[in-house]
Amino acid sequence: MSGRIAFQGELGAYSHQACHQTHPEMEVMPCRTFEDVIEAVRTGAADLAMLPVENTTYGRVADIHRLLPESGLHIVGEAFVRVHINLLGVPGSTLAEIRAAYSHLVLLPQCATFLRAHGIEGRVSTDNARAARDVAEAGDPTMGALASEMAAEVYGLDILAPRIEDNDHNTTRFLVMSPTPDYSRRGEHGMITSFVFRVRNIPAALYKAMGGFATNGVNMTKLESYMVDGQFTATQFYADIEGHPEDRNVQLALEELDYFTSEMKILGVYPADIERH
């Protein structure tokens, strides 16, 4: 599809890479916050939103699960993006010259072994793509940025050392959000249904609510709890299951879930990404 896809961060961010990977035909729209991304789609300024939900190294992305149910948007796709971290420098600089490398607080520890081996000091930046932009603007051959290949391309930097991350399986999962749901598709690699729910205040409610998925042979790939409105007593659960609500076994499992929940909301039904398997 043509149109615009919004993401949080600056050009060259890993979210930008996710947009390019899944919808290369769309124009990208950088936004300052996740709330701004959602609002861009809600107001029609963008057609789709690209939001990170979890990373294999540092876990779930803060705030996203809180924002999704109230966003008014629907999940229509997912993307798994390998996070390759590269040391970038101004054109003509060399690895031996780099004294300090800037990046987001989350990325710096992921390159600790490399930085220590080369005597490079890690310094915190608000965003990895912002770090690349700042290095490009400074023009200082002793400054480096830890960022994506795309950031190097966007800001005209050289890749002085590629793929320096300690963990070579570092992957971020993104969700593609739309103003309208689409239940019509059947993915080549299966379907995922995502939903949130709150259990009724009865003994073993969560255990009973989950029973329907086991007895009906529905695979639950994710179940997470998080507090609502900062209250310890108000817990909401987020779940991903394999299958489509029109599948008979999923239908039966959701009916059983409904009996034990005070609230249940489907966030999206979408094709499973090939990288999931």
Residue tagged active-site, from 174, 195, 197, 213? 174
Single-letter code of the amino acid located at 122: G
Of all helices (H) and strands (E), which one includes residue 215? helix 205-215
Any bridge partners for residue 89, and if so which? 158
Answer yes or no: are the C-beta atoms of 87 and 101 closer than 8 Å: yes
Is 213 labeled as catalytic in the residue annotation? no
Answer yes or no: are the C-beta atoms of 61 and 162 closer than 8 Å: no
Residue tagged active-site, from 22, 114, 172, 237? 172
In the numeric block, which tokens belong to residue 210? 């989950």
Q: Which residue has the tokens 């990325």?
A: 107
Is 172 labeled as catalytic in the residue annotation? yes
**Cα–Cα distance, 192 to 215 (Å, whole number):** 19
Single-letter code of the amino acid located at 56: T
Three-class SS string for 167-203? CCCCEEEEEEEECCCCCCCCCCCCEEEEEEEEECCCC
Distance of CA 143 to the CA centre of its chain: 28
**Cα–Cα distance, 276 to 263 (Å, whole number):** 28
Q: Is 20 left (phi over 0), alpha (psi -120 to 50) or beta?
A: alpha
Answer yes or no: are the C-beta atoms of 120 and 144 closer than 8 Å: yes
> Residue 269: which residues within 8 A CB-CB, separation 6 or more?
75, 181, 182, 183, 191, 192, 193, 194, 244, 245
Active site residues: 172, 174
